[in-house]
Amino acid sequence: MEKSALQIARAAYQPKLPKALQGPVKAVEGKATESVDNQEEIKAMFPNTYGMPVIRFEAGESAPCDNFNVGIILSGGQAPGGHNVISGLYDGVKSLNPASKLYGFLMGPGGLVDHKYVEFTDDFIDEYRNTGGFDIIGSGRTKLEENEQFESGIQILRQLGIKALVIIGGDDSNTNACVLAEYYAAKKYGVQVIGCPKTIDGDLKNEQIETSFGFDTACKTYSELIGNIQRDCNSARKYWHFIKLMGRSASHIALECALQTQPNVCLISEEVEQKAMSLDDVVTYIAKIVADRAAEGNNFGTVLIPEGLIEFIPAIKKLIAELNDVLAKPEALALPGAEEQIAYVKAHISKDNLAVFNSLPTDVAAQLALDRDPHGNVQVSLIETEKLLSRMVAAKLKEWKKDGSYKGKFSAQHHFFGYEGRCAAPSNYDADYCYSLGYNASRLIADGRTGYMSIIQNTTAPASEWVAGGVPITMMMNMERRNGKMKPVIRKALVELDGAPFKYFAARRDEWAKKTMYIYPGPIQYWGPSEVCDQCTKTLSLEKK
């Protein structure tokens, strides 16, 4: 395989480990835990894996370890650092007993069900250390939900002598890991299941999980691109750039990129919902900033938009919730074409929601009614919110021009940054964090744990001071409506409007709107001073102050 000079140099980087993981460990147990909500329902569904304690690893005494085989799955969308989780797990397993083996199931959970796998070797692993992407074994979105899948999985796990399965994924994937752990525990199959927190969206975090891996690298990648656009914007001085960013369910990426680049406008979906803003309110907010800057002779600027924004506008959120239920019905699923589906929707939603549906631009309404993801939900990433908003801002400004309240020029450019950040070579933070998560997972397995997520804490400190351990996945779960039914799922973490990162942003955004105060972060740096190369996100540093 031909490699660039950067790849060759980067392969030699040795990720840093927490001091507690640099030798033998012992597990220190905390108190029994409970789920974040719906405790009785979650406990009844997960009787074998509910209520377990949070654990922390400390330095221990060396003890012989029997060899044990481990399987690993990459699940869901890619995130920078996945290869380092695997290399950390590989090194951790081999450090306990060189005879142990690590197997990777190909193309996600489907590889487990279909018995497609590869055995890792030193040479194989070394090709992927400190690289981006999930191409070492591929990923997939097959959901592990059915007993038939679990039983098919146990066949290959037994055939390969696998003691434990590590699932690297986001909230849905780790919900599946929790269900699988409970099933195998209930059946007394003797197979452990461990999760690792992955998602660039940043919405898999809580009191125990400081951040999901990949968020740091993705935000730094997007911020470099935003900074480049802002430099161009400040040079040409004739365009407003509407930039949509990943983040369907939460606005963590938009907020972090705003903290890194200081745009003129950054919308936070959670605030839009909290203030009960209408689509027109959002448009008016942006248009007012455009007009104010034009009055100062600045007919240019940048607007950051979370991809899930439209779903947080209360009237549209209410509409989407009913659409999700209506379109999940068997008769809706059987409709032959788009016209029939739209007609069915109009005939089966409430009067208030129908009024909202009819008020939307035709193309947006059609996307809400037709395009669903594998979970049965609207595919908001397909809705070109950046173009919708700039189109509506232009119309608003045209109205203001007629009455003389606006005299500037408005010309828009559009961008959507998504795939650009998912497979970037991991930053030093993500390289170290992911390697530690994988290495730590080997210790959870050796300690006999199942239904746990690997966690690394205190990550604003130097890596040697990071704290390693595990948290029961059931602790993060609650009941939510999915496809018209109540299901146990890991609760997503939204941007906290009373949290330090948002407060820092809110205190400065009016000045950023009026003045041109852009920051140009530049590309990710891998070698150099620690303050340049090893820093975590601004979000995390503000949260831990």
- Whether residues 441 and 359 share a domain: the answer is no
User: Do residues 125 and 201 share a domain?
Assistant: yes
- What pTM value is reported for the model? 0.94
Is residue 72 in some structural domain?
yes
Query: CB atoms < 10 A from the CB of 520, how many?
Result: 16
Partners of 378 in the beta sheet? Answer: 372
Residue 483 in this model has a pLDDT that exceeds 80 = no
pLDDT level of residue 339 (50, 70, 90 thresholds): confident
Asked if residue 259 and residue 149 are part of one domain, the reply reads: no
DSSP SS3 for 57: strand
What residues act catalytically?
201
Looking at 473, 490, 507, the residue that finishes a domain is 490
Residue 439 phi/psi, 5-degree rounding, is: -60, -40
DSSP letter, residue 444: H
**Residue 460 sits in the same domain as residue 351:** no
Q: How far apart are CA 179 and CA 147, in angstroms?
A: 10
Q: Which residues contact 210 (CB under 8 A, 6 or more apart)?
A: 455, 456, 457, 458, 459, 540, 543, 544
Rg (CA), the chain: 24
Distance CA 154, CA 150 (A): 6
The residue range of the domain holding 464 is 17-214+426-490
Residue 131 confidence (pLDDT): 96
Q: For the purposes of burial, counting CB atoms within 10 Å of the CB of 24, is it exposed (0-12), middle (13-18) or buried (19 or more)?
A: middle
Residues 169 and 251 in one domain: no
447 inside domain: yes
Whole-number percent of the chain with pLDDT over 70 = 98
- Give the model confidence (pLDDT) of 442-474 as tens digits: 999 999 999 999 999 999 999 999 999 999 999
Pair of tokens at residue 235: 């040079």
Cβ atoms of residues 324 and 379 within 8 Å: no
In a domain? residue 233: yes
Residues 48 and 76 both lie in one domain: yes
For the four alpha carbons of 216, 219, 225 and 229, in that order, the dihedral sign comes to negative
Helix (H, G, I), strand (E, B) or coil at 407: coil
- If asked whether residues 58 and 99 sit together in one domain, one would say yes
Residue count of the chain, please give it: 545
Q: Are residues 382 and 510 in the same domain?
A: yes
* Long-range CB contact pairs, 355-363, < 8 A, 24+: 356/315, 356/316, 356/318, 356/319, 357/319, 360/316, 361/388, 361/391
Q: Which residues of 72-98 are buried (b: 16+ CB within 10 A; e: fewer)?
A: bbbbbbbbbbbbbbbbbbbbbbbbbee
- Confidence band for 330, pLDDT divided at 50, 70 and 90: confident
For 225-228, which contacts have Cβ atoms below 8 Å and span 24 or more sequence positions? 225/415, 225/417, 225/420, 226/257, 226/260, 226/261, 226/263, 226/302, 226/304, 226/417, 227/260, 227/261, 227/518, 227/519, 227/520, 227/521, 227/522, 228/520
* Cα–Cα–Cα angle for 450, 100, 96, rounded to 5 degrees: 75
Which CATH number covers residue 120?
3.40.50.450
Q: How does pLDDT run across 107-166, given as a tens digit for each residue?
A: 999 999 999 999 999 999 999 999 999 999 999 999 998 999 999 999 999 999 999 999
pLDDT at 247 over 80: yes
- 1 pLDDT higher than 90: no
* Domain shared by 306 and 446, yes or no: no
Q: Are 166 and 450 in contact (CB under 8 A)?
A: no
- Domain end point (choices 450, 467, 490): 490
Whether 7 is covered by a domain: the verdict is no
Q: What distance in Å separates the CA atoms of residue 292 and residue 264, rounded to the nearest whole number? A: 11
Separation CA 443–CA 92 (nearest Å): 7
Closest CA to 446 of 19, 67, 58, 183: 67
pLDDT at 336: 84
Which residues touch 193 (CB under 8 Å, ≥6 apart)? 164, 165, 166, 167, 177, 178, 180, 181, 184, 450, 451
Is residue 293 one of the residues assigned to a domain?
Answer: yes
Distance of CA 391 to the CA centre of its chain: 29
Helix (H) or strand (E) holding 173: helix 171-186
Q: Of 490, 508, 531, which residue is a domain's last?
A: 490
**Cβ atoms of residues 127 and 62 within 8 Å:** no
Residues 283 and 384 grouped into a single domain: yes
pLDDT at 265 over 90: yes
Q: Are residues 378 and 235 in the same domain?
A: yes
Looking at the structure, do residues 364 and 344 belong to the same domain, yes or no? yes
Give strand ranges (E) for 47-90.
Answer: 53-59, 69-74
Tell me how far apart the alpha carbons of residues 248 and 73 are, in angstroms, rounded to a whole number: 24
Q: How many domains does the chain have?
A: 2
**Cα separations in angstroms, 5 against 2, 221, 236:** 10, 20, 34
Mean pLDDT of the chain: 95
In a domain, 4, yes or no: no
Output the domain CATH number for residue 330: 3.40.50.460
The answer to whether residue 8 is domain-embedded is no
pLDDT band at residue 373 using 50, 70 and 90 as cut-offs:
low
Q: What is the number of alpha carbons within 13 Å of residue 50 lying toward its C-beta?
A: 17
Through-space distance between the first and last CA atoms of the chain, rounded to whole angstroms: 44
Q: What is the pLDDT of residues 269-297, one digit of tens each?
A: 999 999 999 999 999 999 999 999 999 99
**How many other C-beta atoms can be found within 10 angstroms of the C-beta atom of residue 123?**
7
With left for phi above 0 and alpha for psi between -120 and 50, is residue 262 left, alpha or beta?
left
Residue 3 lies in a domain: no
